[in-house]
Amino acid sequence: MYRYFVKLSYDGTAYHGWQTQRNAHTVQHALNEAFTLLLRTPVILTGCGRTDTGVHALEYYAHFDCEKELNPEECDRLAFKMNQYLKEDIAIHKIFRVGCRIHSRFSPVSRTYRYVITRKKDPFLVKRAHYLYGKIDIPSMNEAAAWLKSVNDFTSYSKADTDTKTNICAVSQAEWTEEGDLLVFTITADRFLRNMVRAIVGTLLDLGTGKITLKEFKKITADKDRSRAGDSVPACGLYLAQVKYPENIF
């Protein structure tokens, strides 16, 4: 049995997230179907993480196991055929063989998400950014974001009733930047909880719009109670931007 990694990206607008669900159109299902057809053998991909309905991925990795041994040239041809078969909202960038101990979900050392807010109504960013009008205190939000690097328990920003055993995460980067009319939040951590980024962004925006103070933001985080935090921002502005694996793992 051989293991292959797939590097891809996708626009999540038309999908109910990554993970296969009954009676729902998902990225994983579309890829399983395409690989099974082209390789003429059942293929089930394992993704590097779960993304919710409408969330996008600038960089995503998945792996599958197969009895067929493909050389690099055959992997390139398979990637080309996959791109011919798949719809335009999923792109395969590379397929390559790895050792069987390398796991797309459990081997990463960090993941980076970007949340994109547009301050100007833009028809070309519909379903790709969250439109938000009004004054926002970016320095205060950045002060709170930087403080998140000292936090380890993110229960206040986790979806309730998940199957995770711990809500401990190590955030190494969290900051807001202005890119023209866009306001972008970038956060990197060793792992993320379900709904964590969207809940953090929603609570930071409460701070940036004066609904809460920095002191209240810190207390909300410390209380470990999701009902105390802000609303989750819309999924359309969220992007999985980078998945980092240990050096030389491939």
pTM assigned to the model: 0.94
Task: Examine the domain organization and report whether 83 and 121 are in the same domain.
Answer: no
Q: Do 66 and 123 fall into the same domain?
A: no
Same domain, 119 and 234: yes
Residue 79, in any domain of the structure: yes
Quick: pLDDT tens for 82-115: 999 999 999 999 999 999 899 999 999 999 999 9
pLDDT of residue 23: 86
Q: Are residues 127 and 55 in the same domain?
A: no
231 and 138 assigned to the same domain:
yes
**End position of a domain, from candidates 63, 98, 133:** 98
| Residues 115, 220 within the same domain | yes
Of 98, 127, 153, the residue at which a domain comes to its end is 98
Q: Same domain for 116 and 223?
A: yes
Local structure of 190: helix, strand or coil: coil
Residue 226 is part of which domain span? 110-244
pLDDT band for position 250 (50/70/90)? confident
Are 119 and 22 contained in the same domain?
no
- Whether residue 127 is contained in a domain is answered as yes
Same domain, 86 and 114: no
CATH of the domain at 145: 3.30.70.660
- Tokens 């996008």: give the residue: 56
Same domain, 89 and 114: no
Which of these three, 69, 98, 127, is where a domain ends? 98
- When pLDDT is cut at 50, 70 and 90, the band that residue 58 belongs to is very high
* Residue 216 shares a structural domain with residue 130: yes
Residue 53 CA, chain-centre distance (Å), reads 11
| pLDDT (average), residues 225-247 | 96
pLDDT band at residue 2 under the 50/70/90 scheme: very high
80 in any annotated domain: yes
Could you tell me which residue, 248 or 237, shows the higher pLDDT?
Answer: 237
Statement to judge: residues 88 and 182 lie in one domain: no
User: Quick check: is 250 in a domain?
Assistant: no
Q: Give the residue numbers marked as catalytic.
A: 52
Q: Are 57 and 239 in contact (CB under 8 A)?
A: yes
66 close to 39: Cβ distance less than 8 angstroms: yes
3: buried, middle or exposed (CB in 10 Å: 19+, 13-18, 0-12)? middle
Say if 78 falls within a structural domain.
yes
Give the separation between CA 247 and CA 211, rounded to whole angstroms: 43
Residue 105 lies in a domain: no
Q: What is the CATH number of the domain that holds 59?
A: 3.30.70.580
Bridge partners of 63? 5, 46
| Count: domains in the chain | 2
pLDDT of residue 160: 77
For 65, residues 6+ apart whose C-beta sits below 8 A from its C-beta are: 1, 2, 3, 4, 100
> What is the pLDDT at residue 164?
75
- Model confidence pLDDT, tens digit, residues 117-149: 999 999 999 999 999 999 999 999 999 999 999
Q: How confident is the model at residue 249 (pLDDT cuts 50, 70, 90)?
A: confident
Question: How would DSSP label each residue in 59-105?
Answer: EEEEEEEESS---HHHHHHHHHHHHHHS-TTEEEEEEEEE-TT--TT
pLDDT digits (tens, 9 = 90+) for 171-226: 999 999 999 999 999 999 999 999 999 999 999 999 999 999 999 999 999 999 99
In a domain, residue 104? The reply is no
